[in-house]
Amino acid sequence: MIDQVKIQVNPVFGAPLLVVERKLKVLVAADIHLGLEHELWLCGVSIPSQTNRLLERLKGYLKEVDPDRLVLLGDTKHNVPRTSWQEQKDVPSFLESLSQEVQVDLVPGNHDGGLADLAPPGTRVMPSSGYVLDGVGYFHGHTWPAPKLFSSDILVAGHIHPAIKLRDPLGHTVNRPVWARAPLKAGAVEDQYRQLLPLPEILIVPAYNDLFGGLPLNELGEDERGPVLTMADMDRARIYLLDGTDLGILGAIKAPENQSQGRKT
């Protein structure tokens, strides 16, 4: 605990962005995936570059929130293992434009190979194991965070693009991006680090790039996508839509679906 000033953690209404306030006001965005269009093009799908749209929208929220710091929480770029020609052009200009507005901290994700070479001067590239800023532990989520992050008041991660699959009375489904706030599993953390560590809650941030449909948490199956879903007690996670709607506890959301599937078999 850095001090006794309470941390305020509030999603931006209608957007996959988080505002964290204590001594600093921090705006957090995860999983921007600049250059996704190049991969789609290689697969035969041609769409215009979305970089300017994503940039202008984020700059609009910077003006609205007026933060002291912008944390880009991993997977700022998309293509791996190589960096596409689109990313070589778009990523530096994207980060330079943001850096003119606010101090930018980059937490590397699994898609961010070579990101440090693309980042303009003044942009801070943090360790891939995460870092602590103003009492909050930030990490992308593709690797286990550094042990020091567990002394934070709350952990914030991205990576899994959390969503919920909603079903209407006629059986039609749609995926909606969500926020998930969950306690940690003491056993999973102890098994990984071989020591007892504090157990703050973890807040999982939805993907900023709206071209991603998201991973439906109520139909996870065997898709764990790294340590976040191992360390977090997802059945006890509280789920929120981007408009602030509280959907309740994930375990309770999943239960009616499991009963429905049981009746069909």
The tens digit of pLDDT for each residue in 199-227 reads 999 999 999 998 877 899 998 876 667 89
Could you report the per-residue pLDDT of 66-102, keeping only the tens digit for each? 999 999 999 998 887 788 888 888 999 999 999 999 9
Q: At which residue do the structure tokens 């921090």 appear?
A: 26
Could you report the per-residue pLDDT of 237-262, keeping only the tens digit for each? 999 999 999 999 999 998 765 555 54
The answer to pTM > 0.85 is: yes
Q: What is d(CA 196, CA 250) in angstroms, rounded to the nearest whole number? A: 27
Q: What is d(CA 205, CA 202) in angstroms, rounded to the nearest whole number? A: 10
Assigned token pair, 262? 């049981």
Please report, for the chain, how many H helices and E strands are present, in that order.
7, 15
CATH architecture of 10-264: 4-Layer Sandwich (3.60)
Q: Residue 121 above 80 pLDDT?
A: yes
Q: What is the β-pairing status of strands 154-157 and 124-125?
A: unpaired
